[in-house]
Amino acid sequence: MTRTPSIVDRIRSSTSGRIPFSVEFSPPRDADAEARLWRAVREFERLGPAFVSMTYGAGGSTRDRTVRVTGQLAEDTTLLPVAHLTAVGHSIDELRSMCGAYADRGISNILVLRGDPPGDPLGEWVKHPDGVEYAEELVRLVRDMGDFHVGVASFPEGHYRAPDLEHDTKYLVSKLRAGAEYSITQMFFDVEDYLRLRDRVSAFDREQGDKPIIPEIMPITSLRSARRSLELSGSTLPPALEERLTRAAGTGAEENRAAVREIGIEIATEMSERLISEGAPCLHFITLNFARATSEVLANLGMAAPAAV
């Protein structure tokens, strides 16, 4: 396998004097979406993220596209890709072969996830008969395969299936002890939730608490789609932010997208400023395969000029 830097090395060796940032892409559904993704990729090459991650469709539905596009990121761009890998619907043999496919393309950074049930993400989780039950087992499996650097998911508000925050912390620490080098959080909108997660992990296990917890930020550009993402992720919007966004959306049949977008960028900027002052290791942005909203937040932070797309 071609050795590429680990995410932890990459974010800790940032020499810009500023906090590093990273972005999340999703596999495109069709040719138009693919063209849009590549426009965003070229813009981000200019902006210099520490790494870029590529999601894995629910239930493994985008498996081939995820592998192909992540491979192209590794081979045809200057960006450092992280491939998401979920356990849903896969046997252990299939999971091993996915890792092999990533390794063949020079990808050594994998974000290991359990994934959600296909169809209804909030529905009952059913393990593949020859698969794994929890992400922790997949962390061990990927680590045992060789030279992979593994990250996992963490949840500032607690995962919606965890009985309470104590269990949630315990299971996150188990994934870290199993060999994950860092975690990326679920999106959240109250920075206090992120800070409390960090404190909980450190209190539970000081050594694991030293591993980076990378906050994920979603710049809201549409209230309707933000509500859908919140529903699917189990994250919540604090009432004060909900009110700002609802006021901006207006009372018309169609929300005022421009006004919502402006407030969404403002909120993401305020959150980023607070996260920087609290010593977050990196800012990870959900992009929906557009560079513009993220680049505007970065511009507000004095970290970039806004992108055109």
Ligand X SMILES: Cc1cc2nc3c(=O)[nH]c(=O)nc-3n(C[C@H](O)[C@H](O)[C@H](O)COP(=O)(O)OP(=O)(O)OC[C@H]3O[C@@H](n4cnc5c(N)ncnc54)[C@H](O)[C@@H]3O)c2cc1C
User: Partners of 149 in the beta sheet?
Assistant: 109
Q: How far is Cα 291 from Cα 37, in angstroms, rounded to an integer?
A: 9
CB of 57 to ligand X, least distance (A): 7
Q: How far is Cα 267 from Cα 200, in angstroms, rounded to an integer?
A: 25
What radius of gyration do the chain's Cα atoms show?
19
Q: Mapping DSSP to helix (H, G, I), strand (E, B) and coil, where does residue 6 land?
A: coil
Residue 45 bears catalytic tag: no
CB of 224 to ligand X, least distance (A): 21
Question: Which of 137, 147, 73 is CA-nearest to residue 108?
Answer: 147
CB of 111 to ligand X, least distance (A): 6
Q: How far is Cα 259 from Cα 221, in angstroms, rounded to an integer?
A: 9
| Residues found near ligand X in the complex (CB under 6 A) | 55-56, 58, 84, 86, 113-116, 134-136, 153, 159, 161-162, 167-168, 171, 175, 184-186, 216
CB of 26 to ligand X, least distance (A): 8
Q: How far is Cα 275 from Cα 198, in angstroms, rounded to an integer?
A: 12
Q: Give the nearer residue to ligand X in terms of CB position, either 108 or 154.
A: 154
CB of 132 to ligand X, least distance (A): 8
Q: How many residues would you count in the chain?
A: 309
* Residue type at 301 in one-letter notation: L
**CB burial of residue 1 (10 Å; 0-12, 13-18, 19+):** middle
Catalytic residue among 24, 181, 255, 296: 24
As annotated, the active-site residues are: 24
